[in-house]
A and B are shown apart, each in its own frame.
Chain A
Amino acid sequence: MKTILIIDDSSYSRHLIQQALQDEGYTLLQADNDLSALEQLQNHAVDLITLDLIMPGISGEELLPRLKALAPQARIVVLTADVQTLSKEALLAGGVDAYLHKPINPEQLRTTIRQILQKK
């Protein structure tokens, strides 16, 4: 069973992501900040991370290298309200596997994650 870590400061967004993925057979973990995310990665083998970019304190982009260092096997899907093409290009160049926009489209999220995990 694949394990997915949802990193988002909004409990509402975490709930929507959880709802979108709950019937897909994944083990779903949640973190609402950088410290909680790093702790989850230390305690669990995570296959994929959904990462919000705009968070209080350390941003998702700043957190990314630490996530990759701690869980190099994990694939990363960015879920963000930042719709700038330049942001998308920068993050994809920085090693994220997919860059999706909020509001969350559940079907797009499921399909994207399935495809990424199948390739793994």
Chain B
Amino acid sequence: MSAQPLFSDYNLDVIAEIISIGVGRAANVLSTLMKQRVLIKTSGTHIAEGPELRQFILDHFQGLGNGLRLQFHGRLEGNAYLVVGKQETLQLLAQLPNVSPELIQLGIVEMDTFAEIGNILLSSSISTIGEQIGIRLRFHPPQTLMNITGEEIATFVLSQSEPNQHHIGLFFTTQLQARMAIVEIPIGIIFRLTKESAEIILQSLNIL
């Protein structure tokens, strides 16, 4: 027996668009950090729950990767995740001015720099979501996991799920193409919202 959908397609589209605008703002932050234009290409927004979200993650991340989780709270409760492949992380960091490629290759600055960039990207995305619906969101300190497998990334993303709690995961695969360097860097930004938080977003926009 299939479960009753939590939200209509239109409602999910609204939530996806609100979050997508947040991700767009995050690209601006990355552009500022890199001092060059960042082209955003997306393969689309996927909305999935539990096992389906796990499968999305496994499909997108083979090999080792790095992950950062930023938990937000306020009237909305949820988590945002940045997940980037190991090699893609190094490519991303190599785009940053004032960071020595030698130090990156040696792994000396990888974790700190990844954590800082991820924190800035995710917090700007989440802040923009809050602004759109007139809610101030607060953050818990970010958690970073380095050199983990796709399976571990999936566990990392889904680890705070409670069995009787519905979550909506939105999965963006965003390719960042730094124009001068001609390098495409796929990164994943995942949001997990409780059903109640998704309802608050819709209510704030007078949709529910």
Contacts and interface: CB of A to CB of B under 8 A. Distances in A.
Contact of A12 (B13, B23, B25, B41): B13
B37 A81 contact: no
Contacts of A12: 10, 13-14, 17
B17 A10 contact: yes
A56 B43 contact: yes
A11 B10 contact: yes
Interface string B34-76: 0011111111110000000000000000000000000000000
SS of B interface (majority): helix
Contacts of A13: 17
B10 to A, nearest CB: 6
Contact of B31 (A10, A55, A59, A86): A86
A84 B177 CA distance: 14
Given A81-B21, A102-B24, A10 B36 contact: no
Nearest to A13: B17
A26 B54 CA distance: 45
B132 A84 contact: no
B25 A81 contact: yes
Nearest to A87: B37
A80 B13 contact: no
A83 B41 contact: no
Contact of B24 (A59, A61, A83): A83
B16 interface: yes
A84 B44 contact: no
B171 to A, nearest CB: 12
23 contacts: A10-B16, A12-B13, A12-B14, A54-B40, A54-B42, A56-B43, A59-B39, A80-B24, A81-B21, A81-B22, A81-B24, A81-B25, A83-B24, A84-B28, A84-B31, A84-B37, A86-B31, A86-B36, A87-B31, A87-B37, A90-B37, A102-B24, A103-B21
Interface of B: 10, 13-14, 16-17, 20-25, 27-28, 31, 36-45, 132
Interface of A: 9-13, 53-56, 59, 61, 80-84, 86-87, 90, 102-103
Given A12-B10, A84-B37, A87-B37, 19 more contacts: A9-B44, A10-B13, A11-B10, A54-B24, A55-B42, A56-B45, A61-B39, A81-B20, A81-B22, A81-B23, A81-B24, A82-B28, A84-B27, A84-B28, A84-B38, A87-B31, A102-B21, A102-B24, A103-B21
